[in-house]
Amino acid sequence: MGQCGITSSKTVLVFLNLIFWAAAGILCYVGAYVFITYDDYDHFFEDVYTLIPAVIIIAVGALLFLIGLIGCCATVRESHCGLTTFVVILLLVFMTEVAVVVLGYVYRAKVEDEVNSSIKKVYDEYNGTNSNAQSRAIDYVQRQLQCCGIHNFSDWKQTHWYEESKNNSVPISCCKTAGCTGSLIHPDDLYQEGCEALVVKKLQEIMMYVIWTALTFAAIQMLGMLCACVVLCRRSRDPVYELLISGGTQA
């Protein structure tokens, strides 16, 4: 019965190590996706610490490659030292992922305040040229999220760009129809929803991806630690298993 339990735990552990390798790739992908997406919206928040969860999750992904290798070797060779190292590293990674979840929730709550405090400034610096970073960011966001202005398209009337252009229009990126010129004479041709709420929603969704990814793989790591502990405990307490191992070594 003891040997059967060890064999089952070893089988599950080897399978989990293969999952760890796949998880490493997924975690690195999620972290990179967060960086790339936040780069498109970085003008709407000033707190660079918002990216800390993404940095940590990429580091955890890289570490999982090493964990999978150590776990596979230690399980196949039934190394007490290797399995112990495997459990310790998994525990550290598990604690790190718990920290990612906590930070994710903290920064997710701060996103709205960050966007609210900076979006007005970004719109004021819009000048409609590709050489201007704020202009590129706003045009991208308005096309991507299908929005116009901060709360609605009428917000453009309070911008420096509108006052200087004096043509009673908004940027072309506000248009939702092909023949639209941005003229406020035809408001039905413009996106009706403001960008502030949609930017906040988008950034919060991205942070939730990080949180749920970290939670999922933290649960898998818990199972990995449990199986490794079963193998370690059975190996040290089961005299039959020790006899089999010593007999196999002598043979």
Packing angle between helix 195-237 and helix 133-145, nearest 10 degrees? Answer: 80
- pLDDT digit string, tens, across residues 213-247: 888 888 877 877 777 777 667 655 554 444 444 44
pTM over 0.85: no
Give Cα separations from 216 to 69, 86, 136 (angstroms): 20, 19, 36
CB burial of residue 236 (10 Å; 0-12, 13-18, 19+): exposed
- Give me the tens of pLDDT residue by residue for the chain, a chain 251 residues long: 444 444 565 676 677 777 778 878 888 888 888 878 777 777 776 666 667 777 888 888 888 777 777 777 766 666 677 777 777 888 888 888 888 888 888 888 888 888 888 888 889 889 888 888 888 889 999 999 999 999 999 999 999 898 888 888 999 999 988 888 889 998 899 999 999 999 888 888 888 888 888 888 888 778 777 777 776 676 555 544 444 444 444 44
How much is the pLDDT for 1?
A: 42
- pLDDT digit string, tens, across residues 55-83: 888 888 888 777 777 777 766 666 677 77
Residue 193 CA to residue 197 CA, distance in Å, equals 9
Residue 106 CA to residue 86 CA, distance in Å, equals 30
How much is the pLDDT for 84?
A: 79
How much is the pLDDT for 192?
A: 92
Give Cα separations from 28 to 58, 59, 210 (angstroms): 5, 8, 11
Q: How does DSSP assign 70-124, residue by residue?
A: HHHHHHHHT-HHHHHHHHHHHHHHHHHHHHHHHHHHHHHHHHHHHHHHHHHHHHH
